[in-house]
């Protein structure tokens, strides 16, 4: 019930292409869905987040699409750049609790 499943495990995209990472959850009580970006040797950093009252959120080249009925959400990176090469984690939590559940992570490589 607490799991968040993330796919794919790894992704290779050409520069300028679209990167898509998918996550699925079971617990309908989750109400906050962040995406974290992690570069080698660094801690994760928040990239973008969404709450289930909207179906899409866009910040620059990064977009979260949220499908409440399917219990799925995804990260789209438009015009992918080599500097986007990193590990991406989706996560889910229930507001005002302390728990944050992460997906398994996706290693993205953007080829020049």
Partner 1 sequence: EAQVTQNPRYLITVTGKKLTVTCSQNMNHEYMSWYRQDPGLGLRQIYYSMNVEVTDKGDVPEGYKVSRKEKRNFPLILESPSPNQTSLYFCASRTVNQETQYFGPGTRLLVL
Q: Catalog residues that contact partner 1 under the rule CB under 8 A.
A: 2, 6, 9, 32, 34, 41-46, 49, 89, 93, 95-96, 98-105
Token code pair at residue 112: 């020049």
Nearer CB in complex with partner 1: 17/105: 105
The CB-of-50 to partner 1 minimum distance in angstroms stands at 11
Question: Is residue 20 exposed (0-12), middle (13-18) or buried (19+ Cβ within 10 Å)?
Answer: middle
The CB-of-18 to partner 1 minimum distance in angstroms stands at 23
Radius of gyration of the chain from its Cα atoms, rounded to whole angstroms: 13
Q: Are 99 and 4 in contact, with CB atoms under 8 Å apart? A: no
Quick check: helix, strand or coil at residue 20?
strand
Nearer CB in complex with partner 1: 13/36: 36
Nearer CB in complex with partner 1: 17/38: 38
The CB-of-37 to partner 1 minimum distance in angstroms stands at 11
The CB-of-95 to partner 1 minimum distance in angstroms stands at 7
Distance from C-alpha of 46 to C-alpha of 41, rounded to nearest angstrom: 16
């Amino acid at each position: 019930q607490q799991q968040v499943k993330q796919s794919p495990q790894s992704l290779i995209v050409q520069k300028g292409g679209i990167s898509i990472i998918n996550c699925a959850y079971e617990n309908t009580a989750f109400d906050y869905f962040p995406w974290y970006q992690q570069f080698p040797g660094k801690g994760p950093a928040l990239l973008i987040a969404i709450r289930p009252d909207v179906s899409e959120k866009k910040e620059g080249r990064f977009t979260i699409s949220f499908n409440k009925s399917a219990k799925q959400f995804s990260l789209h990176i438009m015009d992918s750049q080599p500097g986007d090469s990193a590990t991406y984690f989706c996560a889910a939590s229930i507001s005002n609790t302390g728990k944050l559940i992460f997906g398994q992570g996706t290693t993205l490589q953007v080829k020049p």
